[in-house]
Structure formats: C-alpha cells, structure tokens
Amino acid sequence: RLFAFSPTLCEESTAMSLVPRDDDAPTRQIGHRATSRVKKDDSRDKDSLPWNKEVTDAQGRRRFHGAFTGGWSAGYFNTVGSKEGWKPSQFVSSRSRRADRQKVRPEDFMDAEDLAEAAQAGKTLIMQKDFQDEDMPGDKRKPAEKQFEGMLTVNSESIGRQLLRTMGWREGKQVGDQEVSKALNRKVYGVSRPPLAGGEGAGVSTSSSSAAKTPRQFDTRTGLYQTRLKSDLRGLGYSGHNDILAPPLRLGRGNSVPFGAERSSSTSGLGLGALEAAGIHDEVYSSSNMDDYDIDIDVKGGEAAARARGRRGHGDEVGHQIAALAFVRPRKAERPPEEFKEIRVPPDFTGIHRFQHDELAQTVAEDLKRIPSAQDYLRGALHQIHQRMSIADRARALGEKKLPGPPPPKVLEEKLSREMVELISEKDRQKLAASLESAFTTSGKSLKTIDTDPDAWRRQFKEDPQKQERFERFLEVMAGKPGVKVPRHKLTNWQYQREMEEFTQIFNAKFKKLQSSQNKAQSSPAVAAKLRMYGRLTRTKEPWGPDRLLCLRFGVPDPYKDRPLPSKAQNTSSQRRYQETIDILQASQRSKSKIKGPSRLSRTN
Amino acid sequence: SVGHVVILVAMGGCWGDGYFAWEGPDTREHRPPRKPKPKPRGRRSDRPRVGLGYKGLAYDERPVVEPKPKKAKPSYPVRLKYSLKGHRGSIYAVEFDWEGDYLLSAGEDRQIILWNAKDGDMVKTYPINHSGDILCLLIAHDRKYFLSAASDGKIFMWNTVKGTVTRALMIPRFAKPNSLSWNEDESILACGTEDGQIHIWDLKSRNSKPIQSLRQASGAISSVVVDQPVIIAGSADGSARMYDVRTGKLVTRNFGGPAIGSIRVSKDKRLFLVSCLDNTIRVIDRETGDQLMSYKGHENCKYRIPSLFSNDGSLIVSGSEDGHVHFWDVVGGSLKHSIRHGNEAVLCVTLHPRTHVIATAGPKDGVIRIWE
C-alpha cells in the first residue's frame, strides 16, 4: 500500500535503507523517513573521544601504549598530537568540536597603561619599554613579522625626534602649522603668487621684526609657534586646550610628564577605575614648591628669567609664551579721545518749560499747572479766554469788518437762551442790542420785545427739523404717551446720547418737581433699594458661564455651548481715550452753548 | 391626635446618660429606636358621649352629647422637650435627618454627635478629624453619609454607621466655609466661603477640587441654596445673587446696604426669605424682586442667624441675638410667639421635617434644646 500511494516516499526510503550515506549532510533515519535532523551529536560519544578509541598500529593490530610498549605510534593515535610527538598548538573551536577554555589571567586584559601601573605598584612584572613587544589587540600583521618583532628592538627615537620632543612635539602630530603646510601645498594657478611660508597663511601673522624678537625656541620659521594678534579678552598666556604652549600646572613635579597620563602613577595603582581621575587629595605625599606657582612675564631677562631658563620647569614655558605675546607700540599715534566739557547745570534749573512771548501759551502753561485733567482745562481755558476778551475786543483783534445791513431781527431770540433773556433786565437788553449793533453797519430798527411765548421752548430746534421732531417725540415719551419712540435719524451713539441729555436737561428745567427719587434711584441699585424702589431698579442682569459639568448634573443644556460668553467691556486704554475724547468734545459743546453772541468762536472752534 | 408633638427636655449641667467621648471609639453603637407605646384605640373621650336618660331607649335613640371641644394645640413649639448636652463649646450646625429620627450636631469642639431625636439619647459620637470648628452639616437623604465643613477649609464626607471619613474635599485657599447646600440628587455641592466665593463640586466624580468657583460677590458669602437649576447666594455686600444655570444669566438683587445673613427658598419656590443684618427679615418675590413683607422684632445685626419658613408655610421662624427664637405670622407680619433659648444669640434653628419641633443651639453653652 505504501508503494501505491506514495511512490516518491517509498523510493527515498528504500534508497535510504539500502545505501549507507557517508556524505556531508548529516542524515538520520527516523522511522521510514530521512531527515537532516541529527538527534544526537555522535562525535561526542564516549567512544569517539581520542583516548577511548582503540589503538591500532599501521598494520591494524590492536596496541596498548605505555612507557616502553606501544611503539612509536602509540602516542600519536592516542593523539599526543602528531607524528613528531608534540601537538601543534592551534586554537580551533567549532560548534561540533569545542576547544577547552583557556585559563585567563588578569594581565591578559590589561593594556599598556594598566600594566605600567601594575608594575609600578609592584603587582606584576613587565618588560621595559626597550624590550617590550607591542601586543596590540586586533593586530593584523602576519604572524611571522610578529614573531621577529620582539627579537629586534631598536631605539625608535632618533635624535631628530628627541629634539622635536623637547620642543613640544608629540607622536602623531604634524610638524609645523597645518595651515602653513596647506598654504604651501596649495596649487598656484596662473600668475598668482605662491603663498609664502610663514607669511600669508591663515592665522600666521608675524612680521620679520617680531620674529627677531622672539626667542629661538619659538622660532617662527619652523612654523610651530606663531605669534598671534591677541584679539580676545582672555588673560595673557591663555590658550585653552593647547597643552603644548600652556600645559596644566602640576603640583610638585619637576620632570615633564606626557600629556594624557593624568593619572598619578605614584601610588594610585589600586583603587582607580577607568573613568576616574586622580584627585588632588590622592597625592598626599607629593611635595609642592611655591616655585611652581611663579611665572615671570619678564621678557628680556634678569634674575627671574635666568633662573627659569636654568630650571626646566613649566613656569619657563609659560613665561616664554607670554613673552611671545609681547606688546608692540603702534606705528600711528592714536588721537586722544574726545573730551567733553562738563555740563554745568544752572542753579535755577527746574525742568519745567516756561513759555515765553506767547500769551496763549503762557495761559496754557499756567493752567496746566493748576488743572489736572484736560477736560477741566478746556472748560477753564475757554472760559478764561472768553472772559479776557470781549466780543468787541476780539473782533478788533481779529480785524473783522462790520457786516453789511442791519442786524437780523431774530438775533436775540436765537442766540440767547430763553433763561438768559429773561434774566437780563431791560436796560441790559438795550445795552446788548447796542453792542450788537456795532457789529453791523446799519443799526437795526427797534428790536421787538422778547417774545414771551410760553411754549416757545417747545419749538426751539426749528432750524433742524429732524432735531425738532426728535425733541417732540421725546416730550411725548416723557409725557407717557404709549407707543412713541424717539427716532434715531442716523445719529451716532454719542450724538444721540448727548441729545438725550440735552433734552432731559431742558425737560428737567421745565418740570422741576419730577426730579425726585426717580432720578436718584436710577443712580445705583443700592440707592434704589434704600428708596424702596424695588424691581427693575434694584436688579442687574449679567451673563455668567456655568461649567459644563454643572449643567450636566443639573440636567440642563449648556447655555453657552457654542458661543463665547459676552464679556463686560474692559476698561482698556483705547476705550479710555475714546471716553476722554468724547468728554472733551462734550465740554467744548457745552461751553459753546453757553456763549450766545455772534459766534466767531464757533468758527475758531 | 393631630400634631402630637414630643418635647425633648434635658436640664442644664449634666450630660445625660452617656459619657462624653473626646477621642477614640464610639461609646455606643447605633441602636434601633425604642418601640413606640401602643396608642389607645379609641378613647372614651373620643367616643360620642351619651347623655343622661338613655336607659330604656334603643341604641339609636340615645341622646348624644357633643364632646367638649378640645383646646387647639398651637402650631408652633411652646414647651422645652429635651436639652441635649454633650458638646463642649459653641454649636454651629444642627441638622435633622430627612425622616426626623435623628439629629446631627457639630460645633466648636470639632466633634459631631448623632442624637436620637425622639428620646434625646446620644447615639454616636464621631472622631475628631477636622482641625477647625465645624461650621456646616449636610445629611444625605438615605442617611448613609453626611458632610461636614470646617473652618480649616476642608469638607469631609463621613460614613454614618462606620464613623469614618470616606472623602475629603478641599476648599480652594482653605477659605472658611459659611454655608453648604446641595441639590436633590446630591450630585452638586455648593459652598459659600468667607472670601466671597462660591465653590461648586461634583460629588459624583472623585475630584476633590471644585469644578467651578463663582467670584462675583464682593463680600463674604453667608448663605448658599442650590435650587435646581438655580444657585442662590446671599453675601455680606448686601446683594443676593441668583445664578441660573439654564439660561446662563446672573441676576443680582441689591438690598441697599445691610449684609445678608441667610437666604431660604419657600416650598412653592416663589418666595425668598432673606434675613438682613439690619434686624429685618424680608420676603422677596422671586420673579420680580419686589419686597412683599418684612418682619421685625428680633435682633440681628452681627451674626449669621438663619430664618426659616415653617413646614406648613404659615410661620416664619428666626433666631435672634438676644437668645430668643421668634415666630411671625407670614401674612400678617406680626410676632406671634417667642421662646427663650438662652442668653446668647441663637445661631442654629432647625425645624423637624414632620412635626412642629425645633432644635435650637447657640454659642458657648453647647446645649441643644428641642422644643415642641
């Protein structure tokens, strides 16, 4: 049945069972199928271990090996290693054949630095530099080279290198300025000049004169050291991270220590981690001299410089570095800075500007001192101006010509308000008429007596029919006629307001007895409450925004869900200015209305 | 009989039968109330009296004499029933529960005591958790928890039976709360504080901070009432504010000067009872704001003294700074009756929800008197 249904399978299986496989892919038969799965590593069977295998010699005979028996091959087949008798050392480890773990020592993990420290601390022995072969990790050199390296160690330092080192050069650093070398190596195109060495490179800014002054050690011709114009605000000799020219001061050490070995190699072989630096407190046994702190800025020489030069200390270097930044007198003499004379304040100086020669300005200045607000000033100033000059004076001052013709008959009626007319006595009326006459070329006829029409005040706005209409409507509203409204007639807000105020003033003047608690009550709700005028007067309505959650709990839809809350008008500066403007205009209007004469003033206003 | 009021009386000086527990576990656990005495089923005096000469007559023919008309019981409490002693110091809050079985009181000694309203027993004393005088109490409808607000600016929610604090609400800036009120659902709590703010909490969420604070008042808020959907607050700046949540409008009603001590809403929700600190109690119409009535005769110019409508709406009850509790006729405005609580101002006046019983308490003596 198997043959019938799975021919391929059976083929394989039969094939598998007949022919033993000895090819690479490890196969095993599990059941009737061949799999590449290896259930067990056969190579690790006990029998496969070298010392468990049966030893046979070249002829195939079983051999036992021992010290004197077994023959030459005994060790080999039990894998002493090789035919030669020793096992070539080779580190092979694969997944199938794992090598034993090597025993590791701490010295294997130390680098040269650590080894040096450990040596100093007395922990290990290392070879001295001359005899040490550099075992760098990851070394990719050939093993042959490596083997011979240690045998032939040559003093790598040539005399030239030593000299450079004394001058501050380090392994790996370029000799000479990089910019200089770049400048030198720059290709020259056309007829442009080749860049000069030590001259035009960026950052190289020395002149021959300054080169002569610098000491030999810092000869600019080597390009190592340049004097740079000091354009920053750092201290003298400051060079930041430039360790050659300004090496960090070390306490109590006379010999130069290569940069980088900040870890004190004295006693800190133990207890110092890779990321830790030796602190000041670690070096308890170091001695420090005060001389270490002496830095002479003396250029030429003298005692201090000689001492410094004799002792190869760091103060020397710093001093010379500072000397390199020698100050030079400028070629052009600078102009001394402009001197300003001392300003003497006169003793009577008050800071207040006094107007001179202008009467009006003087008035203004005087009044400004007295009156704090512009509104009051305007009222007062206008009043004063009116007081000072009479109509005739002003007319004279302005150089007015007399108008032709007789004075119009309604002069007095229109220009003087009703109250004023009544107040003025007969005699004064005539005087007034006389003065008015002077403004006209022809004297008027005898003016009619003032029409004491009691209802004339109702018609006082006859010129302006719209205003008259508004006034009449207003009177009707005040009388209590229902369904009447004062029409707006395209008035602006404040104009309308002003008119209403005017009308109410007229009305109140006429009906004085109504000026009772009604008006008082309208002043504030508190007053209204005191006067027992309850209801609308004591209540004020304003919007408030309840919280969304509050509305939810009350089961009420949020009244200000989508629209923002209508906020009260803020007292911003623009609003205040607007209000001030309106107040001034109102003040001027009121003052204008007081003066009833030939209104020259209205024109100037 | 109708309106058979129970008077709770206790003499001054002794603390009743319970010892006063200052700190520690409660002395007495909750006890079920005593069984009421069985009422007589039909008194002889109630049955129709038969006149003389009934012998020999049929049952129907017997002459009937009308019983004497009984003296009508007054509708206001007259007699002292009990005096409850157990507090040390002034009492600032006294509340009946909704049924009227229990009375909860708290005050200066920061201790809350639960009393049995019918017999005047001290049922439970709650441990002191507040660090300031307790100024307001609110009992839940189901009596399972209650709220207490103290002058340390915290409102605690207590489990009535266990006596533990289950929740704490913080009043912003730890202002002194003057009045607490909540809506019928007990989901919104409003608290009026001394610094003129009304803080509103949502009790259904676990937030201890208020969801809204209303700052329109310029004086301390003396009294807050949550009358869904309006929140009414009276403040010391002489104005009552009605915050309508539905329309989003705030109506400020100015009272022309005197500070407002308390505001209550009548049962038909059309009238406000406003007690002002100018010795006047005013009844204001809610719609128009007109003053309908004013009641005088008591002293009130310094303290927040509550004034209430009686249960049937016929009387106005108010405490007074001279130690009396006054009752006025609502319609006429005349002073009907006064009962004397003590010498000091009567700061707490609470009406029993069912019967004509009031509980009064005031400062310094720490005695609650229950009148019927």
**What pLDDT is attached to residue A375?**
61
Cα distances from A434 to residues A393, A422, A487, B4, B131, in angstroms, run: 15, 18, 42, 98, 90
Pairing of β B239-244 and β B230-235: antiparallel
CA-based Rg of chain A, rounded to a whole angstrom? 58
Q: Which residues of chain B have pLDDT under 70?
A: 1-31, 38-51, 67, 71-74
**What pLDDT is attached to residue A511?**
72
Q: CA torsion angle for B14, B19, B24, B25 (degrees, to 10)? A: -130
- The secondary structure of A415-474 as a DSSP string is HS-HHHHHHS-HHHHHHHHHHHHTTBSSPPPPPPPP---TTGGGGTTTTSHHHHHHHHHH
3-state SS class at B180: strand
Tokens of A245: 């020219």
Residues B308, B317: contact at Cβ < 8 Å? Answer: yes
Q: How many residues does chain A have?
A: 605
Give chain A's end-to-end CA distance (angstroms, integer).
Answer: 128
d(CA A544, CA B215): 11
Domain-embedded: residue B231: no
Per-residue pLDDT of A344-361, as tens digits, reads: 888 888 887 765 666 776
Lowest mean pLDDT among A3-7, A96-100, A127-131, A392-396: A3-7
d(CA B271, CA B264): 8
B205, closest residue in chain A (CA to CA): A549
Residues A382, A375: contact at Cβ < 8 Å? Answer: no
pLDDT at A183 over 60: yes
Closest CA to B352 of B113, B82, B94: B94
Tokens of B53: 């000469």
Asked if the interface predicted TM-score (ipTM) of this complex is over 0.95, the answer is no
Angle (CA) B198-B266-B338 rounded to 5° is: 105
Q: What is the average per-residue pLDDT within A323-352?
A: 79
Q: What is the average per-residue pLDDT within A271-277?
A: 61
pLDDT at A160 over 90: no
CA distance A516 to chain B (A): 18
Q: To the nearest whole percent, how much of chain A has pLDDT over 90?
A: 0
**What pLDDT is attached to residue A471?**
87
Q: Please tell me which of the candidates B211, B247, B289 has its beta carbon nearest to residue A539.
A: B289
CA pseudo-torsion sign A485, A490, A494, A498: negative
pLDDT at A435 over 60: yes
d(CA B111, CA B105): 8
CA distance A519 to chain B (A): 16
Which residues 6+ apart lie within 8 Å of A206 measured at CB? A198, A220, A226, A227
Look up residue A22 and give its amino acid: D
Lowest mean pLDDT among A304-313, A567-576, B261-270, B281-290: A304-313
Domain that residue B282 falls in:
255-371
d(CA B118, CA B116): 6
Q: Please tell me which of the candidates A525, A540, A560 has its beta carbon nearest to residue B248.
A: A560
Chain B residues whose beta carbon lies within 8 Å of the beta carbon of residue A527:
256
Chain B residues whose beta carbon lies within 8 Å of the beta carbon of residue A529:
254-257
Domain-embedded: residue B338: yes
Per-residue pLDDT of A226-258, as tens digits, reads: 455 667 777 776 655 545 544 555 444 444 444
Residues B263, B225: contact at Cβ < 8 Å? Answer: yes
Mean pLDDT, chain A, integer: 65
- Report for A98-112, A225-239, A349-363, A375-389: range of highest mean pLDDT: A98-112
Which residue out of B218, B245, B283 would a mutagenesis test of the A interface target, given it has the greatest number of A Cβ atoms within 10 Å? Answer: B245
**Other CB atoms closer than 10 Å to residue A450's CB: what's the count?**
16
Domain-embedded: residue B180: no
Prediction pTM value: 0.43
Look up residue B157 and give its amino acid: M
Chain A residues whose beta carbon lies within 8 Å of the beta carbon of residue B249:
541-544
CA distance A512 to chain B (A): 26
pLDDT at A505 over 50: yes
- Name the residue with tokens 């003053």: B291
d(CA B327, CA B339): 9
pLDDT at A166 over 50: yes
Top-confidence residue, A135 or B198: B198
B229/A554 CB distance under 8 A: yes
B256, closest residue in chain A (CA to CA): A526
d(CA A404, CA B100): 100
**What pLDDT is attached to residue B286?**
86
- Name the residue with tokens 């719209």: A466
Domain-embedded: residue B294: yes
Tokens of B334: 């005349």
Domain-embedded: residue B304: yes
Q: What is the average per-residue pLDDT within A502-507?
A: 83
Domain-embedded: residue B148: no
CATH number reported for the structural domain that contains residue B320 in this entry? 2.130.10.10
Q: Is A18 exposed, middle or buried (0-12, 13-18, 19+ CB in 10 A)?
A: exposed
- Report for A405-419, A588-602, B206-220: range of highest mean pLDDT: B206-220
3-state SS class at A34: strand
d(CA A170, CA A161): 9
**What pLDDT is attached to residue B292?**
87
**What pLDDT is attached to residue A82?**
63
Cα distances from A291 to residues A253, A254, A255, A319, B180, in angstroms, run: 11, 10, 14, 13, 82
Asked if residue A347 has a cis previous peptide bond (ω within 30° of 0), the answer is no
> What's the number of CA atoms in the CB half-sphere (13 Å) around residue A28?
8
Q: To the nearest whole percent, how much of chain A has pLDDT over 70?
A: 37
pLDDT at A163 over 90: no
Phi, psi of B86 (to 5 degrees): 170, -15
d(CA A411, CA A391): 15
**What pLDDT is attached to residue B233?**
94
Domain-embedded: residue B341: yes
pLDDT at A215 over 50: no
pLDDT at A500 over 80: yes
B254/A539 CB distance under 8 A: yes
How many beta-carbon pairs under 8 angstroms link A with B?
A: 99
Domain-embedded: residue B322: yes
Q: Count of domains in chain B?
A: 1
pLDDT at A209 over 50: no
Top-confidence residue, B120 or A494: B120
